[in-house]
Structure 1
Amino acid sequence: MRFFPSLLTLAVCSSFSIQANEAEAFVERISVQGDFRQQSVQQVAGSVAIVSVQDAKRTSAQHLDDVLQQLAGVNFSAGASRGRYLQIRGIGERSEFVDTINPSVGILIDGIDYSGLGISGIADLAQLEVFRGPQANRFGANALAGMLNLTTKGPTNTPEARLSGSLANYDSYQLAGQFSDGINDQLGYSLALEHQRSDGFIKNTYLNRDDTNNIDEFTGRFKLQYQPSAELALQLISHFVEQKNGYDAFSLDRNRTTLSDQPGQDDIQSKAVALQADYSGLAFANLSAQLSWLAADSDYGFDEDWSYVGIHPDEYSTTDRYLRERDQLTLDYRFTSTPEGKLGNSDWVLGLYAANKGFDLTRQFWNWDLWQADSFASSLNRVNAALYGELTTPLQDGWSLVSGLRLERYDDEYRDSSGNSIKNHDTMWGANVSLNYQVNAQALVYLLASRGYKAGGVNGDALAKAADGNLAELSSKASFKPETLYNAEFGVKGSAIDNSLTARVVAFYMWRDDMQVKGWLNPDSGPQFAGFIDNAGSGRNYGIEMENRLQLHPQLALFLSASWLKTKLGRYITLDGDNFSGREQAQAPRFQYSVAADWYISDSLTFNLSLQGKDEFYFSDGHNARSQRYELLGARLNYQLSNWELALWTRNALDQDIGVRGFYFGNDPRDGYEPHVYQQFAEPRRVGISASYQF
């Protein structure tokens, strides 16, 4: 792996070689919207990746899942119709069944917290920002490993509209439309609508259907912007998402052919409203505030046996269904200093955050002990309150010091139908300190230390089953502790004066304390599993990430992002006695890369080529099943004619089977329930055409 340190050395030398007296007119000006102060990505101390509209179009991405494939250091798992669970630098959850999880990687869409839902079409994408590493000071407990901040297009002063559509194999189509306008000098609005549909990529031979794992999603977003005065700007944001997807993804034959007689579903309906206010009328600071509300109902279920009645004398036939209701109200006030309000020569930020979130679950399942259909209900109410701040202090000769701190308190009230009533609370803190050297307008070198955290919680599934003689071991797993993550980074960012070369490289080392892992217990008999979250001592995650853009020719641009990651579990012995201490962590591929090229053949014709690769990785911290290394090849031929844009594209052109969720156990009565690695596969080869009209 000497190649990666050499790249880091080259980036450092290149950044210092740029002369400080060069003109600043051509500095890259991609602003990071999710930071406290909007500034160029090249001037932010931290590992931040930006996905623009052009980046998404280059790989013909139609959903957040498609975009994530091109981001180094980012991985995801499905276990549902979409890639709902995210990992950054090998840290993140892989599923959510009975117990409510605190995500290690959150998702914000227009400032609204969608963490754990993973539902986003991107037809109206303005910019996606991926913050790698602990982001506690900025985002709190949902950003232990990082945060995805997605901003959609908003109101404009003049009428703008775009209509688009796509057709692809597997009976797939996408229709989208956006319109924005200014009613007058003070009032403007935007509306975006999108519908995606596909039969999916599974053939159910028992039911003779090819749509049991279908996609059927509608997204609507509306924004209303009002500026009553020069000092005050208000924006109302409204989201509506309806997802009616099938879930029939796992095959006893370990391919894309299923035998389920009761295919599952993955339905979500969410509504969200946010009110944002920006006020610059104070002499000492600018005020930003957001009040948001989100409600989401989901219906997730599957055929547990993945087969039909009559497949074998030793068969079983059961289903598992999870009905969830989620309500949340969040408030975030933030003061950002003006030049007149500085503390000495330091800029400052001071904020207050509060949230009230409720999670209700009803599980319908087969109780093997009672030998009858049964249900389990639980309710978790979590109240968060946080105070945070940050100081930016200029030193001498281009040096500056940035320091931030966040104190957060959470209080949980848990109840379930088994008679358990538990209250948990904790006070957590996160911090960041960075020493930055701005070599010149084009180059930044920084050294960063940060601390992140995520909340603990209650293992409702373990509590409900602890009284069972076969599962008495679960009595010690009633709850789990918060996790803490310490991170150190050394980073270099540089760009040529004419933007012909842009490079960002970072080396990091992270220490996980009381790391939360998913555990399972299977009794000696019966297809019954109990899941719980466990604390596995410490863990190590370290590596290198880089992103480069090279303009080889006025008609040819090359893009490269890559990561190398090494992880290690601390002391972790499962209840079954398996010792995984010292092993690599789950969902943590050793390397990832994305290479893409834009060839501007003429003023009207563009050819895009992309290749993404990912090393094998463990599917779980509790077994040794692995994915396979893979490469994704994509291509797009784009023709622009006046207001029209036409494209012919392909994704996964090599038609590789890519595992996005994996289990290791026995579920096939035909071979005596012999354990196998069962995988859910991502999309196969896709071929499609797209057209859009903008006016």
Structure 2
Amino acid sequence: MFFRYSVLSIALLSAFNLHASEQQIERVTVQGDFRQQNIQQLAGSVVILSEQEMQRQSAQHLDDVLKQFANVNFAAGASRGRFIQIRGIGERSEFIDVVNPSVGILIDGIDYAGLGISSVAHPEQLEVFRGPEATRFGTNALAGMLNFTSKNPVFSPEGQLSATVANYNSQQLSGYYSAPLSEQVAFSLTLDQALSDGFIENAFLQRDDTNNIDEFTGRFKLSWLPSEHLQLGLIAHLIDQQNGYDAFSLDQNRVTLSDEPGEDNLRSKALALTFAYQEFAAVDLQGQISYLNAQSDYGFDEDWSYRGIHPWEYSYQDRYLRSREQSSLDYRLVSKPAAQLWNNTDWVLGVYASSRDLTLNRIRRAESEMRLFDSQLQRNNLSVYAETTSALTEQLSMVLGGRVEQYSDDYQDVAGISLTPDATMWGAKISLNYQVNSQAMIYGLVSRGYKVGGINGEALAKADDGDFALLATKASFAPETVVNAELGVKGSSLDQRLLTRVAAFYMWRNDMQVKGWINPDLGPEFAGFIDNAASGRNYGIEMENRYQAHAALQLFVNVGYLRSKLGQYVTDGGLDLTGRDQAHAPRVSFSIGADWFLNEQWSLQAGVQGRSSFYYSDGHNAKAAASEQVNLRLNYQVAQWQIAAWLRNAFDEETGVRGFYFGNDPRDEYAPKVYEQFAEPRRFGVTASYSF
């Protein structure tokens, strides 16, 4: 408690002592908000990473990037981390039941929630919004939002080629190029191919590539300026991921015994049309129409072993083939100064609509018996939103926003179950922002977020089985809401050597959605479902600091402190978890880094990222151990060339990214224990880049 209030007090005192200056403050623009504005003047806890900042940690995938953010975590259970938690809120897996993520993902404004970010090569920037953002993003932002922007077209030719070789037979080749096609048209193209054996040895098959990485990503943007007041854009994405999935070991290490390794394949295509019309005297008209089609094939060896391992063995394999087709539109009017309503008030008014068709074909082999499950879900969303920003005085402003969203589902499955739930939900935000001087701002806000409910298809399918009769009461789960109260400080020193952002928050979760499991006889037959706990509490502090200690030395410190509590919740197995920390919610997270410019050619970058221990699930008490990872990068720059030797996880720390607690090893009579999937081990490599 003392730690939390001390940090916030220091930040507040610092803000009042940051004297005004004519010197230009740093301009880092948030692109995901309604109006692009300086991050230091935006109320809310937002973090931005540029391409250069991602290179500091030699990041090759989103997993590497997320470790730099305070109070942000992720879960794997696949070849990559795909499920994100912010301030302790977020999902950890998706099997039969359709999951609406608490943390959404946008790539160039296209909804990739649940699919993840396949490549972070050559970004414009990555933004992380922490806390409910319902007014801006709707149901996908109960806990926050990741907004990834790829390289925007420019009207002067530029580009870069990069090649990486690393241990575990890893290679990566990526490139970016932007150029004008005419005085009004320009394009940008980003291509990335990543290959690796993965970090697993399969002792039974005597292979080291059963958990391999094979990912191609292409992103294209076209910008057309047909007139002074009209800008049109085309966005196209292609992802082709052919990854293996063989991550869990009966011996609880990186050596597996699977005779039928799984896969984690994804192929998606997306298109978007954007426009911005600025000829009206009072308002600007902005909009985007997008379409995405994705097919995934995710499967695994359920027994994690081979036939003949033990007389009590079993041999199961599970596979999920999903198809997703979605379209969306987002139109908004953004006021100009001439259209202010009253008392210097700017405003935004918009409408959002989306349609999503989801199909699942589950193929499960239990010994020689094939068990099939098919389901279809069509979900339609329609919402209207508005936001106003009013200048109450020269220093004090108020932001008031809200969104009303209606969703309807049409669910059918192979068991003949047909359900059509629907609901109307709302979110809101109010903040008061006090500009102490040109370099410091204090804000206070209250926001409300929401997430849709859903249907437990697996529970309905197994409810007729006597061992799973309890599932008849778990047919559906209710929407979840959260209220967030936040106090923050953003400021910089007079000479711009110190920049700091601090936010303290308290969140009330109602009808919080939790994952439950039923395993009647502790054997291989089990069923999952989503349930609602009564309530939850999440509160803490997050802080980002940058300090220019010397002309050649820059320091970075990001720290998060989080406390979370489950409300009244007793699992169906009788385990009382009331008051316990929520899953994937480490109490402490930090990232400390330094950039040291040795001379004009050489620079050294070092960083340490860490997490305290945390629970893997809201259904058992298994925990991930605390971890710290050290990363190093030595750069040599000459003319247009840069060569970097890098080392990630220098001390080969074992970091858990997904965990289960149950019995799966016939050699010890299926005694329950913790099984973990680990993040990558020690990685080292060389990256060469050429800019032109």
Shift of 1:646: 0.3
Instruction: Map 1:567-606 onto structure 2 (within 5 A).
Output: 567-606=564-603
Please state if 1:484 is matched with 2:506: no
- Ranges in structure 2 where 5+ consecutive residues have no aligned partner: none
Shift of 1:367: 5.5
Report how many residues are paired.
Answer: 691
Shift of 1:120: 2.3
- CA distance in 2 between partners of 1:221 and 1:568 (Å): 41
Shift of 1:525: 5.7
In structure 2, the residue matched to 1:174 is 172
Alpha-carbon contact 2:197-2:208 (below 8 Å) kept: yes
- CA distance in 1 between partners of 2:130 and 2:27 (Å): 20
Alpha-carbon contact 1:267-1:300 (below 8 Å) kept: yes
Please state if 1:425 is matched with 2:433: no
Shift of 1:58: 0.4
Aligned residue type for 1:498: D
For residue 310 of structure 1, the aligned residue among 308, 311, 316 is 308
In structure 1, the residue matched to 2:6 is 6
TM-score (norm 1): 0.99
SS at match of 1:227: strand
- CA distance in 2 between partners of 1:3 and 1:397 (Å): 34
In structure 2, the residue matched to 1:42 is 40
In structure 1, the residue matched to 2:326 is 328
- CA distance in 1 between partners of 2:183 and 2:496 (Å): 35
- CA distance in 1 between partners of 2:443 and 2:177 (Å): 42
- CA distance in 1 between partners of 2:486 and 2:397 (Å): 16
Shift of 1:184: 1.4
Q: Which moved further from structure 2: 343-352 or 117-126?
A: 117-126
- Ranges in structure 1 where 5+ consecutive residues have no aligned partner: none
- CA distance in 2 between partners of 1:210 and 1:525 (Å): 32
Instruction: Map 1:41-440 onto structure 2 (within 5 A).
Output: 41-344=39-342, 345-366=344-365, 372-440=369-437
Alpha-carbon contact 2:19-2:494 (below 8 Å) kept: no
- CA distance in 1 between partners of 2:263 and 2:248 (Å): 13
- CA distance in 1 between partners of 2:395 and 2:358 (Å): 48
Alpha-carbon contact 1:52-1:127 (below 8 Å) kept: yes
Q: Which moved further from structure 2: 158-167 or 540-549?
A: 158-167
Shift of 1:617: 0.2
Aligned residue type for 2:231: A
In structure 2, the residue matched to 1:681 is 678
- CA distance in 2 between partners of 1:142 and 1:128 (Å): 17
For residue 659 of structure 1, the aligned residue among 651, 656, 659 is 656
- CA distance in 2 between partners of 1:233 and 1:664 (Å): 54
Q: Which moved further from structure 2: 6-15 or 635-644?
A: 6-15
Q: Deviations over 1:262-304 (max 9, x none)?
A: 0000000010000010110111111110000001100000000
- CA distance in 2 between partners of 1:260 and 1:410 (Å): 42
- CA distance in 1 between partners of 2:483 and 2:677 (Å): 33
SS at match of 2:226: coil
Alpha-carbon contact 2:375-2:411 (below 8 Å) kept: yes
Aligned residue type for 2:530: I
Instruction: Map 1:525-544 onto structure 2 (within 5 A).
Output: 526-544=523-541
Shift of 1:52: 1.0
Shift of 1:577: 1.6
Alpha-carbon contact 1:433-1:448 (below 8 Å) kept: yes
Percent of paired sites with the same residue: 59
Shift of 1:418: 0.5
Please state if 1:505 is matched with 2:502: yes
Shift of 1:579: 1.2
For residue 641 of structure 2, the aligned residue among 644, 661, 666 is 644
SS at match of 2:227: coil
- CA distance in 2 between partners of 1:627 and 1:46 (Å): 30
Shift of 1:7: 2.0
Q: Deviations over 1:310-369 (max 9, x none)?
A: 00000000100000000100100011100111101210000100000111000001358x
Shift of 1:372: 1.7
SS at match of 2:614: coil
SS at match of 1:254: coil
- CA distance in 1 between partners of 2:197 and 2:98 (Å): 30
Alpha-carbon contact 1:213-1:247 (below 8 Å) kept: yes
Q: Which moved further from structure 2: 152-161 or 443-452?
A: 152-161
- CA distance in 1 between partners of 2:662 and 2:519 (Å): 10
- CA distance in 2 between partners of 1:525 and 1:97 (Å): 20
Shift of 1:5: 2.1
- CA distance in 2 between partners of 1:651 and 1:630 (Å): 14
Aligned residue type for 2:352: Y
Alpha-carbon contact 1:26-1:497 (below 8 Å) kept: no
